[in-house]
Structure 1
């Protein structure tokens, strides 16, 4: 079921909210992990909590975003060039994989280390899997690798939006603002 008419090429307000809220939370998660400080410090405990909180919210909002996308649809593609249309679809698919896989890998990594995931400033904690000394380093490496790869994918996504606005002079960026 699509709530988009041929008269509009903008995303719906909920789709725009999910996009920008997830963007801000991903940026916060990256910031928190980069500035967290040395092991055992109060700074590291605080920023690690922020990282977990942001990652968990990314996953929750991602589920809602996907459900909204399936229910409401999306505006028609604006790409006339088949290669650019393919690259846009591939990038969006990669971003969706990222916003689901990255938080899940982080949660599984924490659980495999024998700890529940605790949400910052709440009494909520949960365990998806038990402790596993073999899986933990594999999950950590996958979480870190995916995080590093997505610095680039996110950057390319932002550059593509700017290119659409400045070079192609189309409405691709304005549809999500």
Structure 2
């Protein structure tokens, strides 16, 4: 049996969802960091990229969760109970992030008085009406969570590298 089809690995769709969401989150972060000054063409372009990436993250997150409900991951690797708890906690935080952050982004734009309009599609996403007080609170939450998740994503990546280089177990290889 090849290692790619082993019961000790994540399924191909699970691997696709993991890495596609990773690329889209990275793209969303890149877009927001380099978008340029207000009113510039650069800002309009990168804001559109950010909104597309966020919308696709949310879409894939729903599909990923549905897949996971019917196709559980491989058995956990025997490890220190504290490390196993921290891994589950980090994965829960990451799952919450890929759902909550795009929803907050949509709500932030909506409560600011606009629909989320995905460039190239005649699709306008509206989950809430204009509310300036809510807009400020949601914007602050979206930015705070976005900044906090640099740390959580980095911790997740470092843990995977640590499992591979220090513990020399199969944790990283199971998702590649």
TM-score by length of 1: 0.95
Let me know the Cα RMSD of the aligned residues.
0.7
CA–CA distance in 1 between the matches of 2:107 and 2:131?
10
Provide, for residues 105-134 of structure 1, a one-character-per-residue CA deviation record: whole Å limited to 9, x for no partner: 000000000100011222211210000011
Aligned to 2:138: 139
Provide, for residues 34-81 of structure 1, a one-character-per-residue CA deviation record: whole Å limited to 9, x for no partner: 000000000000000000000000000000000000000111111421
Aligned to 1:64: 63
Structure 2, unaligned runs of 5 or more: 1-5
Aligned to 1:32: 31
CA–CA distance in 1 between the matches of 2:78 and 2:21?
25
Aligned to 2:3: none
Structure 1, unaligned runs of 5 or more: 1-6
Structure with higher helix content = 2
Aligned to 1:10: 9
Aligned to 1:3: none
Q: How does 1:9-158 map to 2 (within 5 A)?
A: 9-158=8-157
Provide, for residues 137-166 of structure 1, a one-character-per-residue CA deviation record: whole Å limited to 9, x for no partner: 000000000000000000000000000000
CA–CA distance in 2 between the matches of 1:42 and 1:79?
52
Aligned to 1:175: 174
CA–CA distance in 2 between the matches of 1:46 and 1:122?
15
CA–CA distance in 2 between the matches of 1:151 and 1:120?
27
Counting matched residue pairs gives 171
CA–CA distance in 1 between the matches of 2:166 and 2:119?
43
Contact kept? 2:90, 2:152, Cα under 8 Å: yes
